[in-house]
Amino acid sequence: MRQGLGDVELLSTLARLTLVLAIVIVTVALVANKWRDDRPSERFPGIVQDVSVIALFMAIATVIMREQLLTTSAVGAVVVGFALQDTLGNLFAGLAIQIEKPFRVGHWVQVGEREGQVEEVTWRATKLRTKAGQFLVVPNSVMAKEPVLNFSEPTVPTRIDVEVGASYLAPPNDVKRAIHEAIANAPLAMRSPEPQVVIKGFGASSIDYLAQFWIGDYAVDRAARDQVRTNIWYTFRRYDIEIPWPIQIEYSREEQPVRTEADVVDAAERLGVIDLFASLTPEACRSLSAASRQHIFAAGEAIVRHNAPGDSMFVVLKGRVRVTIEPSGQEVAIIPAGGFFGEMSLLTGDPRTATVRAAEDSVVLEIAAPAFGPLAAANPQVLEHITTVIGSRQVGLDEARASAAATVPQAGPRTLLERMKKFLSA
């Protein structure tokens, strides 16, 4: 009789538990709004719903079967904990991922050295689809421990990089313009945000450049890099920019001097048509050109600065330079190719009276006093002629200084000639 009553009581308890489970499942489903298109799936993903059902059911079952559960709970917890420690670790890690949402289904992520698109987050693992179309199953405990790089947040566009080396003989600004052109011709590269090109470093055989541009979908990053790299090769070829061979490969080449004979002759011809050196013979111009140094300056670089000491002048061979008066910063002149500046420092050793910057990539010839002094000593008429040219040239500069409230008294022609002779013969 007592056995029969026990069976009836057990069946009654199981029936109540079954009813409770059904009610809990229906309640959670209704809260999650599972059957409507606008259901809040982001707040109630499948794994969260399952955990909610289990938690509610266990809480109610504890109340209904308090005596039975309390008797076996301690032993059961220890057994289950040891048997399912890995599974429980993955479970709780998956639950944390679903609640915190460091990534979502459809996002491109990188875990360690592996990357893929999130396809599903289950109780045990996160499934990623690689770019090769394969499934990569990563345990949730690993996802929780490893740093995760999300390419799809906070913004959908993703910035990617392409590295390329260029010859040391190619001016960096020319190389950057060529790379920008190559990026602009790549269909997968976005126009906004604007791409950037920077010098990454000076390598063993090349100047290394880093091109940074944006794409709308990380899934096409390899195709986008391929387009940009292909365009860079053709663009460099058009502009005669060399991509050097790796330094490990030995090859022979005829090294060209930094300044060739053609450069010397071209600079000498430029000197011959400048008013300042009009009285020099072609041989003297050739000698002065050979004794001088040639420099290249990037756009915006200062060639000389106000009040800096100096004993040389400059002739613009290529590009343009901008002359400004300090401290106002007022621009007083743009000197094109064929022009010159800094002659007072060459002839008298005076500090620089203005700041001169390259308005664009420019090549200048620097004529120093040690190279010009012997020439002036051998040709006394040169200084007489230079005195006349400088006298007329100073008028305009004095007016600019006066307007900038920075007037500096200048010596008269005869005093200037005496100073020139004294400085150059020192």
CB 310 within 8 A of CB 345: yes
Helix (H, G, I), strand (E, B) or coil at 343: helix
Q: Give 82's DSSP letter.
A: H
**AA letter at 173:** N
Helix (H, G, I), strand (E, B) or coil at 360: coil
Q: Give 405's DSSP letter.
A: T
Q: What is the mean pLDDT of the segment spanning 38-54?
A: 56
Give the Cα separation of 186 and 178 in Å (integer): 13
Question: What is residue 83's predicted lDDT score, i.e. its pLDDT?
Answer: 42
The whole-chain average pLDDT of the chain stands at: 77
Give the Cα separation of 260 and 267 in Å (integer): 11
Whether the bond between 172 and the residue before it is cis, its omega within 30 degrees of 0, is: no
Question: What is residue 40's predicted lDDT score, i.e. its pLDDT?
Answer: 45
Give the Cα separation of 373 and 381 in Å (integer): 13
Entry pTM: 0.59
Give the Cα separation of 196 and 214 in Å (integer): 10
Question: What is residue 407's predicted lDDT score, i.e. its pLDDT?
Answer: 43
Cα angle 213, 169, 283; round to 5:
145
Q: Give 151's DSSP letter.
A: S
Three-state SS sequence of 303-315: EECCCCCCCEEEE
Burial of 215 per CB tally in 10 Å (0-12, 13-18, 19+): buried
Q: With a cut of 50, say whether residue 302 has pLDDT above it.
A: yes
- φ, ψ at 365 (rounded to 5°): -105, 120
Give the other-Cβ count within 10 Å of 339's Cβ. 17
| Bridge partner list, 111 | 114, 148
Question: What is residue 322's predicted lDDT score, i.e. its pLDDT?
Answer: 96
Architecture label for domain 158-238 = 2-Layer Sandwich (3.30)
Domain 108-150 has CATH 2.30.30.60: yes
List, in sequence order, every beta strand (DSSP E) within 18-81. none
193-238 pLDDT, tens digit each? 999 999 999 998 899 999 999 998 888 889 999 999 999 999 999 9
* Ordered alpha helix ranges (H), 239-379: 261-272, 282-291, 343-348, 369-378
Q: With a cut of 90, say whether residue 86 has pLDDT above it.
A: no
Give the Cα separation of 262 and 293 in Å (integer): 14
CB 341 within 8 A of CB 356: yes
Whether the bond between 187 and the residue before it is cis, its omega within 30 degrees of 0, is: no
Q: With a cut of 80, say whether residue 285 has pLDDT above it.
A: yes
Q: Which CATH class is domain 261-424?
A: mainly beta
Least confident among 11-15, 305-309, 319-323, 329-333: 11-15
Structure tokens, 263: 């450069």
Q: With a cut of 70, say whether residue 316 has pLDDT above it.
A: yes
Chain mean position to CA 362? 25
Give the Cα separation of 399 and 410 in Å (integer): 12
Structure tokens, 71: 């008797």
Buried b (16+ CB within 10 A) or exposed e, 152-172: beeeeebebebebbbeeebbb
Q: With a cut of 60, say whether residue 6 has pLDDT above it.
A: no
CB 268 within 8 A of CB 335: no
Give the Cα separation of 384 and 181 in Å (integer): 52
Q: Give domain limits for the chain.
A: 2-83, 108-150, 158-238, 261-424
251-266 pLDDT, tens digit each? 666 766 778 888 999 9
Burial of 282 per CB tally in 10 Å (0-12, 13-18, 19+): exposed
CB 120 within 8 A of CB 108: no
341-384 pLDDT, tens digit each? 988 888 888 899 899 999 999 999 999 988 888 887 787 777 77
Rg, C-alpha atoms of the chain? 40
CB 162 within 8 A of CB 232: yes
**AA letter at 321:** V
Residue whose pair of structure tokens reads 């009276």 in the numeric block: 353
Q: What is the mean pLDDT of the segment spanning 303-312?
A: 92
116-161 pLDDT, tens digit each? 888 777 767 788 888 777 777 777 777 767 777 777 777 668 889 9
**Between 69 and 350, where is the model more confident?**
350
Question: What is residue 164's predicted lDDT score, i.e. its pLDDT?
Answer: 96
Give the other-Cβ count within 10 Å of 62's Cβ. 13
